[in-house]
Chains A and B, each alone.
Chain A
Amino acid sequence: MNPSDYLSAALMIAGAVFFLAGTLGLLRFPDVYSRLHALTKADNVGLGLVVMGLAVQAESWAVVGKLLLIWLLVLLAGASVAHLIARGALERGIKLWRR
């Protein structure tokens, strides 16, 4: 193992922690809006860290470009879908959770 391996391992483990947190939020949060919040926030960052971890290992800039493209696409899709779900929920009349 050389230093770059340690770096990418650290990045990817950090990413996995974010995924774990997001998943926990998805399962434990009380209503659809807060679940979406937990999911998208954590997953976007988590995926970003994983992509960075992989980019460290990449053999060429083209691969780095592809990885970044994947991240951007997931960001775009994730944000839009979260918005659509939230809007759908509002239209259905699902109330915000208040303590």
Chain B
Amino acid sequence: MGALLSEISWGVVLILLPLAGGIACFLFPRAAKVLGLVSVFAVLLSVSGLGWNIKVNGIYRHAIGGWNAPLGIDLYADGLSLLMLAATALVGFGISVYSADYFEREDAARFWPIWLLLLAALNALFLSADVFNLYVTLELMGLAAVALAALAGGRDALGGAMRYLLASLLGSLAYLFGVALLYHGFGSMDIAMLAVRVEASPAVWAALGLMSVGLLLKTALFPLHFWLPPAHASAPAPVSALLSALVVKGSFYILLRLWLEIFGPLGGGVDTLFGLLGTGAILWGSLQALRQTRLKLLVAYSTVAQIGYFFISFPLAASAGVTAWSAAAYLVLSHALAKAAMFLATGNVLRFGGHDRIADLDRVVQRLPLTACAFALAGVSIMGLPPSGGFVGKWLLLQAALTQDRWDLVSVIILGGVLAAGYVFKVIGHAFTLADISHESREVPAKMEWAALLLAFGAILLGFLASPVLSLVGIGVPFGVSEVSP
């Protein structure tokens, strides 16, 4: 068994499986739901296979076509890639179970093939070691995400999707320009080779600027977040969950990877800028979330705020590398689970009451107790209360900030938590208040409630799994060696 597990190249399987699944869904639309669920489940198993492989053999590297970089393209996976792949597979599986009941007939035939190709794009992105190959995966991810965002049709969804597409294309082009400069400056597209060859020069600075702007635009970091709320709030619930939980993480992962390997060692104050923008995102996103009257927009602005936390790690990493980056990784993982749970819960509320006005959420607790519970548990992780994944992430971040006496960032982290508590309780408070307006109510399938609840449970459970998860992420030393160990 062990031999079989380590003989199969799971990284390749992770790319080809959802690809083949997506094509099969396209060919046989009537069986799309079954084919899709089977593929996503198989992806989940394959991630375990890759995890086993990495745990036993260390870093995974696969030279595609047998050529080896720089001529060929390499696949590469260490603990960080594994974390992203696992988050994608877990959250993706939860959302798939939910979608199986959410989309019917023709909508299912439209949703499944695009979602599976998006899954293939995400897996390919997390496994790539080549900056141009990353560009292709970025475009793949962007087009799939836009097509999904437009699924609902209507003025809001189409407008949101259009804006999203333009932002996404602009981001990819800026990134591609950076790739051109790196390649022509240093003669390789392999990240590891570039890491060795790169030295401070105008080409590197311009590449850093272009790639950062492009990727920040796609990650929706304040003030480049303008496209996110309309796109995420007007898509169908499972799509909003996919976009918020997974897609923005794709471009963030590329930025993180490039920073860790290529740009970080150059120094130059960009990390301070990222920290400032992160602060801006936390404050602005949280305040906007507090102001919203519609639940979906509130959850979307909460994403804008939480993205800010990922960027607080950059200025802290200079002298507390491992802690700060572990914090970012943990926050990415727990945000993926919690935000997916929140959007799915919101979808249940919408389906039940036909609206998502926060002020009229009255009967949700009585009629959809599991959904209300899912929202509350996800909220615990978003706020960063113990015990939850969000708590571990923010705790690590605070630790990194405290060891460096960065009181400004400490206060931002805490203030963000308080504001998050504000908007989560705003929702929960309304859900508990009794009002006597009667609504048209629709049945919500049990599976849809359970999918949201289990994802939220996952976010809480992460609060107890800090040391095994972090030791897994540490495989291959993606964050370098630092004096502070978690």
Q: Does A touch B (CB under 8 Å) in the complex?
A: no
Residues of A within 8 A of B (CB): none
* Chain B residues packing against A (C-beta within 8 Å): none
